Amino acid sequence: MADTDLVQRIETLGDTLDRARASISRRFIGQERVVELVLSALVCGGHALLMGVPGLGKTRLVETVGTVMGLDMNRIQFTPDLMPSDILGSEVLETAADGARAFRFIEGPVFCQLLMADEINRASPRTQSALLQAMQEREVAVGGRSRPLGVPFHVLATQNPLEQEGTYPLPEAQLDRFLTRIDLGYPARDTERSILMATTGVEDAIAEPVLTTQELLDAQTTLRRMPVGEGIVEMILDLVRACRPDDPTAPQHIREAVSWGPGPRAAQALMLGVRAEALLSGRLAPSAEDVRRLAAPVLVHRMALSFAARARGEDLAALIDRTSAAVTKVEAAA
């Protein structure tokens, strides 16, 4: 692809994402950074984990995103008694009019383009493992056959960080499959007032589709063609390696507080994510600021504090911010 053609595609995609952001904001008021991170995950072709207490609009956000991005959406309410077949589907034995019997596969809700996994940590590990293959391979194995899922396929999962009774911690392997973890906080007073006025009347705002499925696939291809400077690549590598407590380059605060750090998939997520950050900011290439802004959402669920650090009340996101600030400052000085 010629450079001028790529530049034009990137600029057009940036304008399209601006329209998508505006359409989402008509139903999901405020939390602009949350909307940006969700759009970033989809354009990167990944999954996102939404963390927040009940009532912040997580379900409303996912439903709106599905409409705006033109995706076929299904929702699963995760519960402790949910079985793998409830997600993947199952084979049933049917008898024809002539008496012949044959198995027919009935697809589960995972066969879609956008899956909302509500309260994902309430399902048992057995059910979580059924979703793991779908998130990584975009296919599931049922009845001895591999069955492809929708194209594209994205999981937007929600989790309540407060109520942990009757929940199962997500396996580290599954957490690693989420491109980003997006934390939703309480809205500002003015934003909450706008929410009250917009959602307690007779009519509710309607989100309009902005992209089609093919346009989203084209956007994901265009994103991967965006150039990334050598300095940004080195910055990403330095940051990921500095967050591993056993790496020689890890700073003292990481060595003392972190029990295990991110793997290569974190660097891949950052490499894609900084491109999306640049797109959403109307730029043609990512910068050091993009790495800093995306460090915590990409790394926080791929690391764990040690027992001593938890006892001291250490905050993992703050440690990541401190590390990313130091790494990007060193790279800028070099």
> Cα torsion at 252, 256, 262, 268 (round to 10°)?
-20
Burial call 150-187: b when 16+ CB within 10 Å, e when fewer: bebbbbbbbbbeeeeeebbebeeebbbbbbbbbbbeeb
- pLDDT at position 133: 85
* Extents of the domains making up the chain: 226-334
pLDDT digits (tens, 9 = 90+) for 163-194: 666 678 888 888 999 999 999 989 999 999 99
Whose CA is closest to 225, among 4, 10, 34?
Answer: 10
Distance CA 179, CA 135 (A): 11
Whose CA is closest to 254, among 320, 329, 181?
Answer: 320
| Mean pLDDT value across the chain | 90
- pLDDT at position 32: 92
- pLDDT at position 251: 94
- pLDDT at position 333: 52
Structure tokens at 114: 């956008």
Stretches where the chain sits below pLDDT 50 are 1
- pLDDT at position 236: 96
pLDDT digits (tens, 9 = 90+) for 87-137: 999 888 888 777 788 888 889 999 999 999 999 988 888 888 888 889 989
- pLDDT at position 231: 93
| Structural domain 226-334, CATH architecture | Orthogonal Bundle (1.10)
- pLDDT at position 54: 86
- pLDDT at position 277: 95
- pLDDT at position 61: 93
* DSSP SS3 for 178: strand
- pLDDT at position 160: 83
